C-alpha cells in the first residue's frame, strides 16, 4: 500500500466557480458562433432565432469577460502566482515536453521529470487560452459596439482574427477536455476542477511533485 494517503486541495471555490462560468460561456459562444459562420437555422433556433442567438452571443461575451475580470480583482495574488507558474519553463519542463510526459501512447517514459502545480503541457495550454481569450474580447467588442465607428479594413481584420482564434480555441479546448476528463492517466483532474477542488495526494506527489513538495514544506513549518 502507498505511504501517501489522503487528499490535497488543488483549486479553491472561487477558482472553480470562475472556471465553470467561463466554460459555460465558452460553450454558448462557440455554439452560437459556429451557427453564425455556417448560417445555421438549426443552431439559431436553439436560441430562439437568429436575432436572439446574436444577442445571446454578445451577452455571453460580456459574462465571458466579466467573470475572469472579477476573479482576478478578488484573487490578484493567486492569479499572479498562476501566471508566474505557467510562464516559467525550467529544464524539467523542456524534457517533459520532449516526451509529452508519457501521455502519447507510442512514447514510453518510465519517470517523467517532476512538474509544478501545472505540467508543461498545461502551462502551454494556459498561455494559449489566455492570449486567445484576450484576442476574442479585443475583437468581439469592436465588432459589436464600434462597428460603425472603426474603419472597414480594421473591422475586417477583427472578423478574421475572431474567426481563426475561435477555431484554435475550440480545438485547444477539445484537447484540454480529452486530457482532463477522458484520458485514463489524467482524468482525475476533472473532479478536482469541476467538483470539490480536492485531488488524491498520491496522484499529486507523482504528477506535480514540485508543487506537492512545497505543500509538505508548509506543513512541516507549521
Ligand atoms: C467577449 C467575447 C465575445 C464577443 C463580444 C463576441 C462578439 C461577436 C460578434 C459581435 C460577432 C458577429 C456576429 C453577430 O453579429 O452576432 C461574433 C461572431 C463570431 N463569434 Fe464571437 N464574440 C466573443 C467571443 C467569442 C468566442 C469565445 C468564440 C468561440 C468560442 C466566438 C466565436 C465566434 C464566431 C465563430 C463568430 C462568427 C465569425 C464569422 O462569421 O466570421 N466568439 N462574435
Q: What is each CA distance from 193 to 18, 42, 46, 141, in whole angstroms?
A: 10, 32, 29, 29
* Cβ(205) – ligand 1 distance below 6 Å: no
Instruction: Tell me the average pLDDT of the chain.
Output: 93
The residue among 59, 62, 56 whose CA lies nearest residue 44 is 56
User: pTM to 2 decimals?
Assistant: 0.91
Ligand 1 atom closest to 30 (CA): 30
* Cβ(118) – ligand 1 distance below 6 Å: no
* Cβ(57) – ligand 1 distance below 6 Å: yes
Torsion from C-alpha of 211, 91, 95, 210, nearest 10 degrees:
-10
Handedness of CA 70, 71, 73, 79 (dihedral sign): negative
Contact call for residues 193 and 118 (beta carbons, < 8 A):
no
The C-alpha atoms of residue 66 and residue 49 are separated, in whole angstroms, by 26
Rounded to the nearest angstrom, the distance between the alpha carbon of 92 and the centre of ligand 1 is: 38
| pLDDT tens-digit series, residues 152-164 | 999 999 999 999 9
Which pLDDT band holds residue 95 (cuts at 50, 70, 90)? Answer: very high
- The secondary structure of residue 179, as a DSSP letter, is I
Rounded to the nearest angstrom, the distance between the alpha carbon of 79 and the centre of ligand 1 is: 26
| pLDDT tens-digit series, residues 200-209 | 999 999 899 9
Hey, what domains does the chain have and what are their CATH numbers?
A: 8-221 (1.20.950.20)
Q: Which H or E run contains 9?
A: strand 7-9
pLDDT of residue 217: 57
Return all residues near 77 (Cβ < 8 A) that are at least 6 apart: none
Which pLDDT band holds residue 186 (cuts at 50, 70, 90)? Answer: confident
Report which protein residue has its CA nearest ligand 1's atom 7.
140
Which pLDDT band holds residue 79 (cuts at 50, 70, 90)? Answer: very high
Rounded to the nearest angstrom, the distance between the alpha carbon of 74 and the centre of ligand 1 is: 27
Question: What's the rounded mean pLDDT across residues 11-33?
Answer: 97
C-alpha cell at 174: 477539445
Contact call for residues 134 and 169 (beta carbons, < 8 A):
no
pLDDT of residue 189: 86
Helices within 38-90 (DSSP H only): 41-46, 50-74, 76-87
Rounded to the nearest angstrom, the distance between the alpha carbon of 131 and the centre of ligand 1 is: 16
Amino acid at each position: 500500500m502507498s505511504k501517501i494517503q489522503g487528499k490535497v486541495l488543488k483549486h479553491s471555490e472561487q477558482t472553480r466557480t470562475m472556471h465553470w462560468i467561463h466554460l459555460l460561456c465558452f460553450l454558448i459562444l462557440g455554439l452560437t458562433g459556429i451557427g453564425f459562420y455556417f448560417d445555421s437555422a438549426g443552431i439559431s433556433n436553439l436560441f430562439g432565432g437568429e436575432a436572439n442567438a446574436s444577442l445571446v452571443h454578445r451577452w455571453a461575451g460580456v459574462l465571458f469577460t466579466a467573470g475572469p475580470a472579477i476573479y482576478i480583482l478578488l484573487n490578484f495574488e493567486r492569479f499572479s502566482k498562476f501566471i508566474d507558474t505557467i510562464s516559467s519553463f525550467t529544464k524539467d519542463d523542456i524534457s517533459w515536453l520532449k516526451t509529452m510526459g508519457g501521455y502519447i501512447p507510442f512514447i514510453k517514459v518510465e519517470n517523467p521529470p517532476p512538474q509544478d502545480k501545472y505540467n508543461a503541457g498545461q502551462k502551454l495550454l494556459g498561455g494559449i487560452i489566455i492570449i486567445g481569450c484576450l484576442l476574442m474580447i479585443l475583437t468581439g467588442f469592436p465588432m459589436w459596439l464600434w462597428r460603425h465607428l472603426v474603419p472597414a479594413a480594421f473591422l475586417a481584420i477583427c472578423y478574421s482574427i475572431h474567426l481563426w482564434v475561435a477555431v484554435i480555441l475550440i480545438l485547444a479546448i477539445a484537447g484540454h477536455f480529452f486530457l482532463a476528463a477522458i484520458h485514463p492517466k489524467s482524468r482525475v483532474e476533472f473532479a478536482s476542477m469541476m467538483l470539490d477542488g480536492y485531488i488524491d495526494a498520491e496522484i499529486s506527489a507523482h504528477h506535480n511533485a514540485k508543487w506537492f513538495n512545497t505543500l509538505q514544506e508548509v506543513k512541516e513549518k507549521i
